[in-house]
Amino acid sequence: MIFIYKVPQVKGFVHKDQFPRPNLNDSLEGEIQAFLTDEDQLHTYDDLTKVNPVTPTTVLKCLQARYNARVFYTHAGCTLVALNPFQPIPDLYSVDVMKEYHCAPQPQELKPHIFIVAEEAYRNVQGQLEPVNQSLVVSGESGAGKTWTSRCLMKYYATVAASSSVVKSQDIVGRIERRVLDSNPIMEAFGNACTLRNNNSSRFGKYIQLQLDRSQLLVGASVQTYLLEKTRVACQPANERNFHIYYQMIKGATDEQRKDWKMPCGQHFVWLPNAEKTVEEDCFHETVEAMVHLGINAERQREIFRILAGILQLGNVNFSPSTDESQPCNLEEQAAELFSIPTEELQLALRVRTLKAGKQSVLKPCSQTECSMRRDCLAKVIYAQLFEWLVAFINNSICADKSMWCNFIGILDVYGFECFQLNNLEQLCINYANEKLQQHFVAHYLRAQQEEYVSEGLQWSFVKYQDNQSCLDLIEGSTVSVFSLLNEESRLNRASDCKMFRVRLEKELCDNVNISWDKFSKVPHFTVAHYAGKVNYQIQGMVEKNKDPVPPELNSLLQKSDNSLLHQIFTDKETDNMTSKGLSKVTVVSKFKNSLESLMKILHTTTPHYTRCIKPNHDCKPLTFKKEEVIMQLEACGIVETIHISAAGFPIRIPFTSFLQRYGLIAKYSNFQSESDCASKYTLSLYLSHCLDSDKHNSWVHCGRTKVFLTQSMVNLLEDQRNKILSQCAFVIQCCWLRYQRRRRQARRKSATLIQAAVRSWLVRKQVQRWNRAATVIQDTWRKWKALLKSLAEAELDDAKDLEEENVPELNPVIRERGSVQLSTLQEPVTVRGWPMGLALASAPSITVSLTATGFQKMMSVMASLNLPSRRGEYKVEPNQYTQGLASIRAQPKGSVKLHYQRSPLLYADRQPDLKSEVTGFNEILLEKTL
């Protein structure tokens, strides 16, 4: 169903359906031409919402100009567009760049980058605003860069949220980030393959949950995988390869290993096509190293590789047409030996079917084709189970105990939309998953946003978008759908007839507009109109694939294996899910649907962040931008609609009360401080009119019935003002505290002097004076001193007006205006300690210091006065009272150093004569030394 809404009146926006590229209407064409004339400027559009008019052509041109200028990331409102450069870009993902984005007060102001998405999600967790858990959805077609992007995100968190810096537990947790990252090469070796579209194509989907503790440090992770393309192990499409691990084995193994695996040099393996092609991922050593790090010991590794080698040997086994002639060949013996199962039993299991008739079993020889199918089935089931075992092992190794983590950031890397010449069940499942994700995107950003505008009474012209619910109903609907009919067919106790199945589909689903048939086609098929385009699905073989049967003889044979791993994975396997005919009670599509539904449940409870990876050319050529190919991808993911809604809408919506809680302190009038006042639209509007400088910002903010709607620019502006004030408040508090401490010291000194004087006078006059007199003097002095301390303590902090006496004239207006109220706006409890340097900070583990050669010498003296070790390069600083909360230190010109804190530092003016401190941002201090 398509929701037809009023198309917005915003200048220049045209929906893709109304704007077929070849037929531009004249006036719009004029505007587009005018926009495109300024060619030199096109690459400067770092957010496509700034493009005007927003049309596929203008968006495409901007992306092209940026790509040519070697800029690969561009915001598209709430989505990040990532163009694949197809070549490594130096320093684009270095640790320094990660730190730059992590430490930036406003990362959104830096150049668009995947690290902005990563940091935004991380700060959302730190901010604990509901929903606290985050999901980073990375989508795009095969070879667009999803896996690369996911890897970048994982590395980012392994760097900025590294818990290994917690000194006391360094030994244990130091390995966590390493282990999480080490899961990548193993899963890629076993789950990725070289395809026509991508040399390192993931043949499975994955959702990685990075687990964060209370301090937002990475303490573990878990991986959920989806739909491994196990058919590849026994059947590789033309010009493609098997899974990487096999090529790694034959290229990287030692002679001794080859002997053990019965893989002599030069042996040809039918299931290893294109072995001469070498790809970057053919690195056996790296996979083994990662296995070691994750705790897979040498014996286990040997078992794994022998199983894999056994599968390869199976691939070379051929069957003769007549079963009588089929004798166990040498290859079968080798496979049996590698699987540690008796050769005769393997031979029998491959060639003879056991039919059950009541309590009796009848043995029936299989035809040549059936034998081959059984062989392939054995290979597939072993490989799939091995992969599942590996994923479970990885999870055991990296998953933290539930008590250790409280929030997570999930990274979803799923296969993109697929449409080949021949499509079958795999493509149907993959495209179904993409439909689900698109629906989530539409629901989250488009529909929810527009619905909320209506309920909040905002004036809004609606954008037309495609709702894909009817397509999803067609595929997965509970009553009659492709999946339900497929499942019914799969459960019938007979071989399926694809022609009959096609007739059934047509009869049952003829009312659905999303499905069609080419009546003249000889091959039985059906066509689904997906949101991204029409796809023909071949019916032949679909039902068998859905049944995914494993002959029971094969299962019981593998359970007898002396290879303890093989034995374990087939004994642990849920046999109750099997019928006596080896059919799984759970079909492929129902299993996939269930796992996808669990995933969607998780996604719905998290804050999503979308990254759309785009493949600029299908030949994977570095820095080559093919317009036709890019535009198809942009259209498939509805990027133009997304841009428009983001540009015209208010992506940030905050309830009145929360808004005032956060931004109330900016108001120039303190009568907006009470919550009852805040909760009315009238006071809010009044507040905003006081708060905003001029009409300039009026279009950035709107008051709804219960919420304030804001653009990102407005939020940036408000955050900026808030941070400035908080820094000032922190400064004020520190000034109060300093004064209190000084008075305390003075009082202590004074009382000490009094006591000393008293004692001295008592000593002088001891011959003549009485004990009781001396005692009275001392008691008196103590009393005075105590009273003084008490009065000082009472006057502490809340006596902000006293600060006018302090020599901080630039702060006086702030204090006068906000008075003590401001002190309570610091949400975190304030713990202040009177440290010599005056840095009282929220707790933080340690810091990493990056120093460049420039200004190094000059900075040394500053570092020395901070009591920090001074060495060139990058090093860790043990935590001390000065470094708590520090995120980074950067050398500045003129012998100064900028300290950047994870949270707002509370500081007071430095009293060291040659060291000047200045608050330059919410969590920044500039220290300058007079040299």
Ligand X SMILES: Nc1ncnc2c1ncn2[C@@H]1O[C@H](COP(=O)(O)OP(=O)(O)OP(=O)(O)O)[C@@H](O)[C@H]1O
The answer to whether 415 contacts ligand X (rule: CB under 6 A) is yes
Is 752:784 a contact under the CB 8 Å cutoff? no
Between 418 and 910, CB nearer to ligand X: 418
* Type of residue found at 855: G
Please, which contacts does 782-788 make with residues 24 or more away whose CB atoms are closer than 8 Å?
782/751, 782/755, 784/751, 784/754, 785/747, 785/748, 785/750, 785/751, 785/754, 785/755, 788/747, 788/750, 788/751
Please, which contacts does 293-299 make with residues 24 or more away whose CB atoms are closer than 8 Å?
293/175, 293/178, 293/179, 293/182, 294/179, 294/182, 294/183, 294/186, 294/393, 294/394, 294/397, 294/398, 295/393, 295/397, 296/393
Between 142 and 385, CB nearer to ligand X: 142
The answer to whether 243 contacts ligand X (rule: CB under 6 A) is no
Return d(Cα 796, Cα 805) in angstroms, integer. Answer: 15
Return d(Cα 488, Cα 507) in angstroms, integer. Answer: 15
Between 432 and 687, CB nearer to ligand X: 432
- Given the rule CB under 6 A, which of 142-150, 164-172, 498-506, 590-598 is the region that contacts ligand X? 142-150
| Contact positions with ligand X (CB under 6 A) in 264-323 | none
The answer to whether 164 contacts ligand X (rule: CB under 6 A) is no
Q: Tell me whether residue 143 is annotated as binding.
A: yes
Which of 116, 66, 196, 150 is CA-nearest to residue 623? 66
CA distances from residue 576 to 36, 591, 603 in whole angstroms, order as listed: 64, 15, 31
Return the residue of 147, 236, 590, 673 that touches ligand X, per CB under 6 A.
147
Return d(Cα 465, Cα 384) in angstroms, integer. Answer: 39
- Given the rule CB under 6 A, which of 22-30, 139-147, 244-252, 542-550 is the region that contacts ligand X? 139-147
Between 73 and 405, CB nearer to ligand X: 73
Compute the least distance from the CB of residue 191 to ligand X, in Å.
9
Compute the least distance from the CB of residue 456 to ligand X, in Å.
38
Q: Tell me whether residue 146 is annotated as binding.
A: yes
| Contact positions with ligand X (CB under 6 A) in 78-97 | 84-89
How many Cα atoms are found within 13 Å in the side-chain-facing hemisphere of 422? Answer: 8
Compute the least distance from the CB of residue 887 to ligand X, in Å.
26
Site string for ligand X, 651-680 (x = CB under 6 A): ------------------------------
Return d(Cα 79, Cα 83) in angstroms, integer. Answer: 13
Name beta bridge partners: 362.
355
Between 148 and 901, CB nearer to ligand X: 148
Between 73 and 901, CB nearer to ligand X: 73
Provide the token pair at 911.
């009293």
617: left (phi over 0), alpha (psi -120 to 50) or beta: beta
Q: Give the rounded distance of the alpha carbon of 567 from its chain centre.
A: 36
Return the residue of 143, 205, 582, 855 that touches ligand X, per CB under 6 A.
143
The answer to whether 711 contacts ligand X (rule: CB under 6 A) is no
Q: Tell me whether residue 94 is annotated as binding.
A: no
| Contact positions with ligand X (CB under 6 A) in 556-615 | 613
Which of 635, 465, 464, 466 is CA-nearest to residue 8? 464
Between 633 and 923, CB nearer to ligand X: 633
Q: Tell me whether residue 142 is annotated as binding.
A: yes
The answer to whether 895 contacts ligand X (rule: CB under 6 A) is no
Between 139 and 340, CB nearer to ligand X: 139
Return d(Cα 651, Cα 872) in angstroms, integer. Answer: 44
Provide the token pair at 539.
């019916």
**DSSP-H helix ranges across 456-559:** 469-476, 482-491, 498-509, 542-547, 552-559
Compute the least distance from the CB of residue 419 to ligand X, in Å.
14
Return the residue of 53, 77, 107, 140 that touches ligand X, per CB under 6 A.
140
The answer to whether 809 contacts ligand X (rule: CB under 6 A) is no
Give me the phi and psi of 887, to 5 degrees please.
-100, -40
Site string for ligand X, 327-366 (x = CB under 6 A): ----------------------------------------
Compute the least distance from the CB of residue 147 to ligand X, in Å.
3
Site string for ligand X, 605-634 (x = CB under 6 A): --------x---------------------
Is 10:461 a contact under the CB 8 Å cutoff? yes
Q: Tell me whether residue 147 is annotated as binding.
A: yes
Q: Tell me whether residue 649 is annotated as binding.
A: no
| Contact positions with ligand X (CB under 6 A) in 188-207 | 198-202
| Contact positions with ligand X (CB under 6 A) in 46-85 | 84-85
Which of 700, 637, 643, 462 is CA-nearest to residue 54? 643
Q: What is the DSSP letter of 578?
A: B
Compute the least distance from the CB of residue 305 to ligand X, in Å.
24
Compute the least distance from the CB of residue 66 to ligand X, in Å.
14
- Given the rule CB under 6 A, which of 143-151, 220-228, 462-470, 577-585 is the region that contacts ligand X? 143-151
What residue numbers does the annotated binding site for ATP cover? 140-147
Residues that bind ligand X (CB under 6 A): 84-89, 140, 142-148, 198-202, 415-416, 613
